[in-house]
Amino acid sequence: MRCSGQPIRASLLVTAALLTCFGSGFDASPAFAAGAYAQKKHDAKRQVEALEEQWRIAQLTGDVATMDKMLSDDYIGISMSGQVSTKAQQLDRVRARKVTISKVELSDMKVKMVGAIAIVTSKAEVEGTNETGPVSGTYRYTRVYQRVPTGWKITSFEATKIPAPKPPRDQPAAEATPPTSPPVSEPHFN
């Protein structure tokens, strides 16, 4: 066994090179993993935003087949009036044209990712009809998607009507906004 010379020096160089590679690999891995996670999260948000547009179009066209594919079997929707609908009930209402939506304009959309769950909040200008008559107004809603092996499914929906602005305090309510049309009912658009 030789204790001096070239073989020991070569062993030390190889060992130092391996430690450097493994050491920097371990340091870079969390950063790389965090970057990959952020990209994956960003991609998931974009997928959900595209699904929101797909749902909007399905509502406008009364596309029951698309709605059926997008809703989870255990879907629960809650209207702003507190009416609860299952997947079957919601699809039946659209199929029977008890609910028709002629306008849905979305704004202020936010998508929050929590693991395999996407929580969408948005503002919607809606016009259409439901069982009780015309529907019109501005709403805030929350829609929840869950990632399942076959893709994203809508599992929950809830909407709240944004009240019209109140008249100024110095003006009596009767003078502030004269009625121009009959009152409209609140929609159940989910």
- Establish if 16 belongs to a structural domain: no
pLDDT of 36-88, one tens digit each? 777 888 899 999 999 999 999 999 999 999 999 999 999 999 987 778 999 99
| Six-digit token string for 130 | 């439901």
154, 141 Cβ separation under 8 angstroms: no
159, 141 Cβ separation under 8 angstroms: yes
- Establish if 114 belongs to a structural domain: yes
- Establish if 11 belongs to a structural domain: no
Residue 19 pLDDT level (bands cut at 50, 70, 90):
very low
- Establish if 51 belongs to a structural domain: yes
The pLDDT value given to residue 5: 54
- Establish if 173 belongs to a structural domain: no
* Helix or strand run (H / E) with residue 65: helix 64-70
Give me the number of domains the chain comprises. 1
3-state secondary structure 71-95: EEEEEEEECCCCCEEEHHHHHHHHH
Range of the domain at 132: 31-168
- Establish if 56 belongs to a structural domain: yes
> Residue 186, by phi and psi: left (phi above 0), alpha (psi -120 to 50) or beta?
beta
pLDDT of 95-141, one tens digit each? 999 989 999 999 999 999 999 999 999 999 999 988 888 989 999 99
Whether the pLDDT of residue 31 is over 60: the answer is no
120, 110 Cβ separation under 8 angstroms: yes
- Establish if 22 belongs to a structural domain: no
Here the CATH number for the domain that contains residue 64 is: 3.10.450.50
Burial (CB count <10 Å: 0-12, 13-18, 19+), residue 87: buried
Which has the closest alpha carbon to 106: 58, 138, 154? 138
Is 45 in a helix, a strand, or coil?
helix
- Establish if 2 belongs to a structural domain: no
